[in-house]
Every structure is written in C-alpha cells, then in structure tokens.
Amino acid sequence: AQSVAQPEDQVNVAEGNPLTVKCTYSVSGNPYLFWYVQYPNRGLQFLLKYITGDNLVKGSYGFEAEFNKSQTSFHLKKPSALVSDSALYFCAVTFGRGYQKVTFGTGTKLQVIP
Amino acid sequence: GAGVSQSPSNKVTEKGKDVELRCDPISGHTALYWYRQRLGQGLEFLIYFQGNSAPDKSGLPSDRFSAERTGESVSTLTIQRTQQEDSAVYLCASSLVSRGDGYTFGSGTRLTVV
C-alpha cells in the first residue's frame, strides 16, 4: 500500500522568508511524487513532479522540492515567500510503470503574512 | 477544451434524490479520474477511466455511486439516493497517460445534501 503524510495542517511564514511544506511517503517501489496547489475557490493546479533524475526538482511559481530517498521525504520549498503563495498544498505519490492510483495527502494550508 | 470543465459548479439536493455530475476532460486526455474532497480533508480517490473502461473503481464508497465515460470524452458520476455524508466537493482530473503525469483538475462540483 502507498501513503503520503503531511504532518502540518498549517504553516505560517512571513513574506520574504523561505518556506518549507513537509511531505513524507511510503510506497513499495520507486516513487513518483507530486505537489499540487489549491487556491481558494479554484481547482488544484499541478506544481511539480519527481519521477527520476536530479533530486532537486523545480516547478511553477518559483517552487522547488527535494527528493530524499533515505528519509522518504519530498519537501516543498521556496526561497522567498509571497502573500500570493497563500493556499492549500497537497503532496501526492504513486509508483511504478503503467497505471497506479495516485494517493494524495491531507493538505497543508500555507499562510504568508505580510 | 482548454481545461477540465465540471458542471454544475454547485448542487444542492434533498436527501434521497439522485444527482449527476459531469466532467469534460481536456481533449486528447485518455485518462480521467474522479476524487472527492470533504470539508477540511484530503482528496479521496473514487474511480479511474482509461478511455471507455474503468480499470480501477476501488474508491467508489457504495453501490449508490456509479460512473461512466463516453469514448475518451465526457464522464458522468451518478449518486443515487443521496445521503448527507455525500456532501463534498467532487473533483475530476484528466491526464495524457496514466503513468504519473501531472493531472489537470477541474474546479469541482460542490454537492450539498440537505
């Protein structure tokens, strides 16, 4: 079985400070990892993914995430937070080739304080 | 179309009535997914379509829930004899292939059962 955990329901960060949103996963094979963002009253938007290759993945809006196999983590990061980054962030995992169901975390609300 | 379109955006129904939720995926996307998001919770997988067929229906919570897809296009999620616990946002997503490519989500249908 696969699972993903987002240990923080909410993260508060001051505008201009670096931000980290945590995610850990559990799969029985090589993971495919994703981050999605949900702005208020809008659908989820794909931010970035890790399939293979460099452990540091860069995505939309200046976000990046680091795959750490030994710690089974895929934390989302941004060097300098913007108020407009305030949203709900979801980590997701699947594995292997062909179809495998994507499992989403419970989400982390990011609040960037002006 | 340019994005994944879901209708209606909001639906209020009386307990015991049937409802149909519609999803128009991005043209050419062979894979289509339905998820449910209850208030304050993560995404709950319901069903996956590859073309016309549904190789994974494991997330449908009961036999009151069913879904179909016409070709590689429109999908309809039907909930019969709605219950209050069915109240949630129902999200549809599509992707080019089912192998972990990023999903494109619709804005969802907010279902309220009163």
CB nearest B105 (choices: A43, A94, A105): A43
pLDDT given for residue B32 in this prediction: 92
Q: Is the peptide bond before B8 cis (omega within 30 degrees of 0)?
A: yes
Element counts in chain B: helices (H) and strands (E):
0, 11
Which positions in chain B touch A49 (Cβ < 8 Å)?
A: 100-102
3-state DSSP of B31-58: EEEEEEECCCCCEEEEEEEECCEEEECC
Pairwise CA distance, residues B46 & B36, whole Å: 7
User: Token pair for residue B6?
Assistant: 């879901």
Pairwise CA distance, residues A57 & A86, whole Å: 21
pLDDT given for residue A17 in this prediction: 98
- C-alpha closest to that of B42 among A71, A11, A93, A12: A93
DSSP strands (E only) in A1-114: 3-5, 10-14, 19-21, 24-26, 31-38, 44-50, 56-58, 64-68, 73-78, 87-95, 103-104, 108-113
- Alpha helix (H) ranges present in B1-114? none
Which positions in chain B touch A34 (Cβ < 8 Å)?
A: 100, 102
Per-residue pLDDT tens digits of chain B, which is 114 residues long: 579 999 999 999 999 999 999 999 999 888 899 999 998 788 899 999 988 899 899 999 999 999 999 877 999 999 999 999 999 999 999 988 755 567 889 999 999 999
> Does residue A40 sit at the B interface (CB-CB below 8 Å)?
no
Within 67-96 of A, beta carbons closer than 8 Å to B belong to: 90, 94
Per-residue pLDDT tens digits of chain A, which is 114 residues long: 788 999 999 999 999 999 999 999 998 888 899 999 998 877 788 899 998 888 999 998 999 999 999 999 999 999 999 999 999 999 999 876 666 778 899 999 999 999
Pairwise CA distance, residues A10 & A59, whole Å: 21
d(CA A18, nearest CA chain B) in Å: 25
Pairwise CA distance, residues B112 & B64, whole Å: 16
CB nearest A97 (choices: B91, B99, B104): B99
Which positions in chain B touch A107 (Cβ < 8 Å)?
A: 42
